[in-house]
Amino acid sequence: METVIRFLFCVINLCVSFKNPNSCYDQSKLEAKHKALFVFGDSLFDPGNNQYLNGSTGEGISATYWPYGQTFFNHPTGRLSDGRIVPDFIAQFADLPILPPYMEPGAHRLADGVNFASAGAGVLDGTHPGTIQLRMQLEYFKTLKKSLRQQLHDAEAEKVLRRAVYLFSIGGNDYFSFYTSNPEASESYQQAYVEMVIGNLTLVLKEFYSLGARKIAFQNVGPLGCVPVMEAMNPELGSSCVEIPLALARLHNEYLSVTLNNLESQLPGFKYAIFDYYNSLGDRVNNPSKYGFKEGKVACCGSGTYRESGCGGREGKEPYELCRRPSEYVWFDGAHTTEMTNHQLAELLWSGKPNVTGPYNVKQLFGH
């Protein structure tokens, strides 16, 4: 059946593009290699889902104001950056179109994939209510699976899901919100909290597997104590990073690799990638010039010592500073990186060496 469809597709394609007879062959090769990308997580990966939420509490809403989006899209899209974010680059590297936000009205080509990420989202339901939590993103994915089974037939839909790559950035908000409400938490309390986050994350990943997901890629939790907004909250530290949020992120990341390694041995066909975002971003913050940046601590856009808040302004009216060249900065706003940083990070996630992205990188996951 599939062969027949592909043959017919080729014939039709040849007729329309007789000037380039190779295009039929190219097209069928592309079809055979075609793999979808599904994206889940928080503001680092949100392409604008939050602007479609009812009564949103504001997470990511500032990104619907200029100058967000100025570098690549020329208008704000809801992405918390001056331009593309990591999943946009990954889609481009994988020869896919830039994936639409799941919440965007209208028909989407589901077989390419969709992006479910929501600024402010965490693993735990209690983290930033009003955003699309990981568990809710999973529910939306189940809905998508039903639509996909209607668009293609069942066996074909299962195949698309099995071959797809599932990309996650989640956890940072759980720790930001934990640290803000428990700045003095004991080590045992911190550990219990990390275990709770990882416990819930593991349940969600097992559900993804049972829905057909086989190739999981994670950007691990970043150097939370080094984001400009954290630095600004702890002026007594000067320019050094805040230790407790860093420790929470490191512990989470250790547990994350153990968890994924365990899942790989328990679940047949399960493959994964973990990109060491923590160290990759941390090194750019501390040694910006090594990577072609001029500034690693102060953000490009915002007000305050580190320009840590207020980029875009509420209603676009409040004053804030904006740098001339975002590409010279690691950070665009108080918690989100510039397109230039995102491009570098995406390249590492896509094809980084095993000491940065492993045991597979995303390019290898797409190839398998």
By rule CB under 6 A, what count of residues binds ligand NAG? Answer: 12
What is the total residue count of the chain?
Answer: 368
- Minimum separation from the CB atom of position 180 to ligand NAG (A): 17
Contact 28, 9 (CB under 8 A): yes
Residue 160's alpha-carbon distances to 114, 115, 256, 296, in angstroms, are 13, 16, 26, 40
Subset of residues 44 to 73 that bind ligand NAG, contact rule: CB under 6 A:
53-54
Only one of the segments 193-201, 211-219, 256-264, 357-365 lies at the binding site for ligand NAG (rule: CB under 6 A); that segment is 193-201
* Residues in contact with ligand NAG, shown as a per-residue x/- string from 328 to 357 under the rule CB under 6 A: -------------------------x-xx-
- Binding ligand NAG (rule: CB under 6 A), the pick from 125, 154, 187, 318 is 125
E-state strands within the chain:
37-41, 165-169, 215-219, 271-275, 301-302, 321-322, 357-359
How many CA atoms does the CB half-sphere of 177 hold within 13 Å? 16
Of all residues in this chain, which one has the CB nearest to ligand NAG in the complex? 199
Task: Find residue 165's DSSP bridge partners.
Answer: 37, 215
Q: Which is nearer to ligand NAG, 198 or 300 (CB)?
A: 198
- Binding ligand NAG (rule: CB under 6 A), the pick from 200, 253, 309, 361 is 200
Only one of the segments 166-174, 196-204, 256-264, 298-306 lies at the binding site for ligand NAG (rule: CB under 6 A); that segment is 196-204
- Minimum separation from the CB atom of position 103 to ligand NAG (A): 6
Q: Does position 105 bind ligand NAG by CB under 6 A?
A: no
Give the list of residues 6+ apart from residue 73 with CB closer than 8 angstroms, or none: 79, 83
The number of beta carbons lying within 10 Å of the beta carbon of residue 358 is 16
Q: Does position 199 bind ligand NAG by CB under 6 A?
A: yes
Q: Does position 181 bind ligand NAG by CB under 6 A?
A: no
Q: Does position 126 bind ligand NAG by CB under 6 A?
A: yes
Give dist(CA 197, CA 193) in Å, integer.
6
Q: Which is nearer to ligand NAG, 41 or 326 (CB)?
A: 41
Give dist(CA 132, CA 59) in Å, integer.
11
333 is an active site residue = yes
Subset of residues 237 to 256 that bind ligand NAG, contact rule: CB under 6 A:
none
> Which amino acid type is present at position 44?
L
Sheet holding 357-359, edge to edge: 37-41, 165-169, 215-219, 271-275, 357-359
- Which residues would be at the binding site for ligand NAG (CB under 6 A)? 53-54, 124-126, 196, 199-200, 203, 353, 355-356
So which residues are the catalytic ones?
A: 43, 333, 336
